[in-house]
Each structure stands twice: as structure tokens, then as C-alpha cells.
Amino acid sequence: MAATRTFSIIKPDATRRNLTGAVTKMLEEAGLRVVASKRIQMSREQAEGFYAVHSERPFFGDLVDFMISGPVVVQVLEGEDAVKRNRDVMGATNPSDADEGTIRKAYAESIEANSVHGSDSDENAKIEIDFFFKPEEIVG
Ligand code: IDP
């Protein structure tokens, strides 16, 4: 099967605890290659736009506040079946439901501060990659 791409965010709870390398190591060990990466401070407008699909959810305001509470590392990951591969290594949204060996089991602090984001479909991966990266910033 050909390599595909997905979009990842190392969230503020993880950058704050200096876990960028540790999280990236788990992504790489899961067979994903970092083909673009940058550390950014998201603006409120960016975070609201990125999570617009959740705008009616009760946790939306808190989620936006959390995502702009510190730097994040946005990444494009490439690998065989990248979306699923990344979701598998991320683990369940709520760390108390996450399997052993997953990033969220190892590092997440709570259902909100859960260390990583990963696209949930190929279609959303493309939208999310385009939201943060110019084509020339991605070097496969
Ligand atoms: P996912 O990140 O595992 O795909 P989603 O349901 O798409 O999970 O939720 C997006 C993000 O919103 C989660 O990663 C988490 O940070 C936050 N979130 C989801 N559910 C809750 C909740 O019940 N309370 C607080 N934050 C939540």
C-alpha cells in the first residue's frame, strides 16, 4: 500500500513538559515519518477555525483556551495508512480509556490535555495540512 499523509499536533501540555522528542519518537517507532514540522503559538482565531467542527460542544471554549495556552508543534506525518497508524499510536481521547503503549496512555494529563491531535480521515488530513502548511514546507 502506498504511503499516505496525516496531520498531527503535539499539544501545549506536552510541549510544556518538554515531551516533543518523546512523542515524536513514539510516532517514528510506529512507522510514521515527519515530513514537515514547526513549533508555533496558535492564535485564538486559528484555534477556533481549526476546531470549528466542535463549536457547538460544551467544551469548545475550554479547548480553545487550552490550545492557545502555550506552543504547539504541528507536523505532517507520512507512512502506510498514516491516518489509522497515527490514531492507533495516539490512543483513546480519554487517557483512562487508552491502551498500554499509546502516547495518550503514556503522557496525557486529562481528556482535554491529551498531548496529541491526529486527523480522523484522509479528507480531514488534507484540510488540516492545508490549514497550517504551504506545499513547499512539506519535504517527503
Ligand atoms: P480526538 O482528538 O481523539 O479525535 P475529538 O472527539 O475529536 O477527539 O475531540 C477533540 C479534542 O477535544 C480532544 O482531543 C480533547 O482535547 C478535547 N475533548 C474531547 N472531548 C472532551 C471532553 O469531554 N471534555 C474536554 N475536552 C474534550
List of domains in the chain: 3-42+72-137 (3.30.70.141)
Estimate to the nearest angstrom the gap between the alpha carbon of 57 and the chain centroid: 19
> What is the CB < 6 Å shell around ligand 1?
59, 63, 93, 111-112, 114, 117, 120
DSSP state of 89: H
User: What residues contact 106, with CB distance under 8 A and at least 6 apart?
Assistant: 22, 26
Give the bridge partners for 116, in sequence order.
10
What are the phi and psi torsion angles at 39 (to 5°)?
Answer: -95, 125
Q: How far apart are CA 115 and CA 73, in angstroms?
A: 11
Catalytic residue among 117, 118, 125, 128: 117
Confidence of residue 2 (pLDDT cuts 50, 70, 90): confident
Instruction: Indicate yes or no: pTM above 0.80.
Output: yes
Kindly report the number of other CB atoms within 10 A of residue 104's CB atom.
22
Model confidence at 20: pLDDT above 90: yes
pLDDT at 1 over 80: no
Mean pLDDT of the chain: 98
- What are the pLDDT digits (tens) for 47-86? 999 999 999 999 999 999 999 999 999 999 999 999 999 9
Residue 136 CA to ligand 1 center (angstroms) comes to 30
pLDDT tens for residues 88-125?
A: 999 999 999 999 999 999 999 999 999 999 999 999 99
In sequence order, which ranges of the chain are alpha helices (DSSP H)?
Answer: 12-16, 20-29, 44-50, 60-67, 82-90, 103-107, 122-132
Q: What is the pLDDT of residue 111?
A: 98
Residue from 50, 59, 103, 105 whose mutation best tests the ligand 1 pocket (most atoms within 8 A of CB): 59
> What are the two backbone dihedrals, phi and then psi, of residue 24, each rounded to the nearest 5 degrees?
-60, -40
Annotated catalytic, 54?
Answer: no
Complex prediction ipTM: 0.98
pLDDT value at residue 21: 98
Q: Are strands 72-80 and 116-118 parallel, antiparallel or unpaired?
A: unpaired
Mutate to test the pocket of ligand 1, among 6, 88, 114, 128 (most ligand atoms within 8 A of CB): 114
